[in-house]
Amino acid sequence: MNKNFPELHDFFGAYFHQDWTVEHETADQVIDGYLSESDEHHLQIVLTELCMLIAQKKEELALREYMLKELSCYYCYWNTWESGDSWLLHIARKLQERLDGSD
């Protein structure tokens, strides 16, 4: 488990595991599944940790390695997204939209 981002590790490890493509066709389907299954409290924690990770401004290759080795994320975002930051910001927006809609 990642000590700095335990909830983010749980999110990526549980939803973007090695076989995520067996369960979902797209990464957005994975995220949407998480959003539908999670309570507001956990969404907020994941969003906070995600923002903290983004704020670290890791170089792209370092971020890829960190995502795989430290956060257990097996989604190769670089095949679809311009950068890791752009993908992480996309996730953050989806989380925030869900939180804003659950008032």
- Is the confidence at residue 103, as pLDDT, over 80? no
- Nearest residue to 30 via CA among 41, 39, 21: 21
pLDDT at res. 3: 83
Q: Are 12 and 72 in contact (CB under 8 A)?
A: yes
How does pLDDT run across 10-56, given as a tens digit for each residue?
999 999 999 998 888 999 999 999 999 999 999 999 999 999 999 99
- Is the confidence at residue 1, as pLDDT, over 80? no
How does pLDDT run across 60-77, given as a tens digit for each residue?
999 999 999 999 999 999
pLDDT at res. 34: 95
Domain boundaries, the chain: 6-100
Confidence of residue 59 (pLDDT cuts 50, 70, 90): very high
What is the sign of the dihedral through the CA atoms of 8, 15, 43 and 54? positive
